[in-house]
Amino acid sequence: MLLVLNTMGVYLFLLIMFRIAGRRTMTQVTMFDLVLVLVISETVQNALIGEDRSVTGAFLVITTLVGVDVLFAEMKARSDRVEKWIDGMPLIVVREGKPLEELMSRARIDLNDILQSARISGIGTIEEIDYAVLETNGRISVIPKRVTPGEGPDSLVISN
């Protein structure tokens, strides 16, 4: 019984801690973040199984973790409010070409993060961005401005 309760407790604790830590963009993930994840997983493993080296113990921990995860997924699917509180909501950080500095600062992202995501989408300058959205998974989606014929940058004009 203790194993199951511990596992549930650890799951909830991690959920709360990662929500407190806040969303980070995927471009901000560093080597140190990966090390941090490894250290956390090692610590959690000790807290969950301790001295229990039995296969049954491992089965119980895995079953509980997957069970709680499925439960939360189901709750999120049924309630928008639960989904909002667990996953957060997307945040517009560039609106109609204008960076929303205050929101960006509160979300701890800067123009470089947005431009980095923009370059991946083949966009080179902030002027070409219509909207940028910080998604709940930490990625920044960039929506380019519509280029009307004859208006686009010279580099895009292909002539034979």
Partner 1 sequence: MATSANKPARLTLEQDLPYQIRVWRLQRIGWGFIGVVTVAALLGLFGNGPAAPEPVGTFEGAPTAHYQYFTRRGTNIEIVLDFRSGDSEKEAETIRIPHTLLEKASIEDVRPTPLREFMDEYSYVLSVARPESGGDMQVRMSLVYHNAGWTTERLLVGDDAVELRQFVYP
Q: Does 124 participate in binding partner 1 (rule CB under 8 A)?
A: no
Q: Which is nearer to partner 1, 61 or 133 (CB)?
A: 133
Q: Does 20 participate in binding partner 1 (rule CB under 8 A)?
A: yes
Q: Which is nearer to partner 1, 70 or 147 (CB)?
A: 147
Q: Does 152 participate in binding partner 1 (rule CB under 8 A)?
A: no
Binding-site member from 67, 88, 99, 138 for partner 1 (CB under 8 A): 88
Q: Which is nearer to partner 1, 70 or 89 (CB)?
A: 89
3-state helix, strand, coil in the chain (%, to 5): 60, 10, 30
User: How many residues form the binding site for partner 1 (CB under 8 A)?
Assistant: 23
| Inter-residue contact 40 to 97 (CB < 8 Å) | no
From 3, 32, 33, select the one nearest 18 (Cα to Cα).
33
Per the structure block, which two tokens stand in for 154? 């010279």
CA pair distance 96, 30, nearest whole angstrom: 30
**Rounded to the nearest 5°, which phi and psi values hold at 129?**
-90, 130
Sheet (strand 129-134) strand order: 98-99, 91-95, 129-134, 140-144
Q: Which stretch binds partner 1 (CB under 8 A): 30-38, 82-90, 118-126, 151-159?
A: 82-90
Q: Which stretch binds partner 1 (CB under 8 A): 35-43, 57-65, 111-119, 126-134?
A: 126-134
Binding site for partner 1 (CB under 8 A): 6, 9, 16, 19-22, 50-51, 84, 88-92, 95-96, 106, 130-131, 133, 143, 146
